[in-house]
Amino acid sequence: MTTVSAYESNEHSSISMYFQIDDGWKLRTGKGVSVAVIDSGIDTSHTDLQGKVKESVEAGADNKRVVFDKSDTGDSAGHGTACAGIISRIAPDAEFYSIKVLGAGGLGDGIAFLAGLEYAIKQRYQIINLSLGTTKPQFFAPLHDLLDRAYQSGCIVVAAANNLPQPSFPSVFSSSLISVSKHEDADPFNFGFRYGEVIELTAPGVNIHTAWLNNSYKSLTGNSFACPHIVGIIALLLEKYPELTPFQVKSALYAIAQENLDKNKVKTADQSNPSE
C-alpha cells in the first residue's frame, strides 16, 4: 500500500491531497487506457503491436495550416515503433493512437509538433508520449500554453529530456508535465525521482530491447526510451484508478519512486553487510 500525500495549489487556495493506492496496479495491463504517441508513426504490422493501434494520423499542410488525416504510411524512422513497443511490453492492453509528425531520420517541423500535441489534447487522450522536443526558443510560450490546456483537459503529458546537455522544450516544464531521463536499471517498476532537478523522474533507458521496423528488434539507448517506460506505468495506474487527475498521477509516481529508493537503500545495506 502506497500513501500519497501532497498539496495542489492554485491562485485561490491550496488543497490537501491524500489517498492510498495498493500494489494491485502492477498486475493490470492498461486495458482501455488511451495512449497517444506523437512521433514518427507506428508500424502497425509489427507482431508486438498488431491490433493495438486504434488510429493513425499524419501531419499535412493545407493552405499554410497543419491538418491531420488518417494515415497508412506506418513509421518513417523506427523511433515511434520503438516507443510504442516499450509501452506495450508494460501495458499490453493499452489503446494506441499514432500521431505522425516526424519524417525519415526522425526529423520534423516544430509547427507540426505543436499541432500534433494540440490534436492529442483535443482528442482528450489520457496519456501523451513525447519522446521528442525542441530547443528553439520561439516554441517556449506556445508549448507552455498547450501544456496548460492538456492539464485542464485531464491529459497526462510525459516528455523525454534532451540527450544533449542543452535544455529542450517541453521537458523542462516539469511543473506542468512529467519529465523523464534514463538510468541503467532494467526494471520498469524501479523508476526513480530526483526532487529539485529540472528532469525529475528516471527510468530504464540503456540498451532497451524493443520493436523496430520490418518486424525486427533493436537495443536502444537514450532518454527517448525512458519516457515510454513511465507512460506504461501510468497506463497501469489509470486502469486500476481511472479517476486519478494528472496532479494525482504525478504525486503517485513520486510516492512510488520514494518507496523504490527506500527499498534500494535497504538492499544496498544488506549487500554491504552480509550475514555471517
Contact status, residue 241 vs residue 251, Cβ threshold 8 Å: no
Q: Which CATH superfamily is domain 24-270 in?
A: Peptidase S8/S53 domain (3.40.50.200)
Cell numbers placing 55:
488510429
Distance of alpha carbon 226 from alpha carbon 234, whole angstroms:
13
Q: Which of 188, 189, 193, 192 is nearest to 209 (CA)?
A: 188
Distance of alpha carbon 72 from alpha carbon 187, whole angstroms:
34
Single pTM value for the model: 0.91
**pLDDT one-digit tens code per residue, 215-230:** 999 999 999 999 999 9
Sorting pLDDT into bands at 50, 70 and 90, what band is 165? Answer: confident
Give catalytic residue positions.
39, 79, 224
Mean pLDDT over the full length of the chain: 91
Q: Where are the domains of the chain?
A: 24-270
Q: Which of 32, 150, 22 is nearest to 91 (CA)?
A: 32
Is residue 170 reached through a cis peptide bond, with omega within 30 degrees of 0 on the bond before it? yes
Angle at 106 between CA 103 and CA 107, to 5 degrees: 70
Sorting pLDDT into bands at 50, 70 and 90, what band is 27? Answer: very high
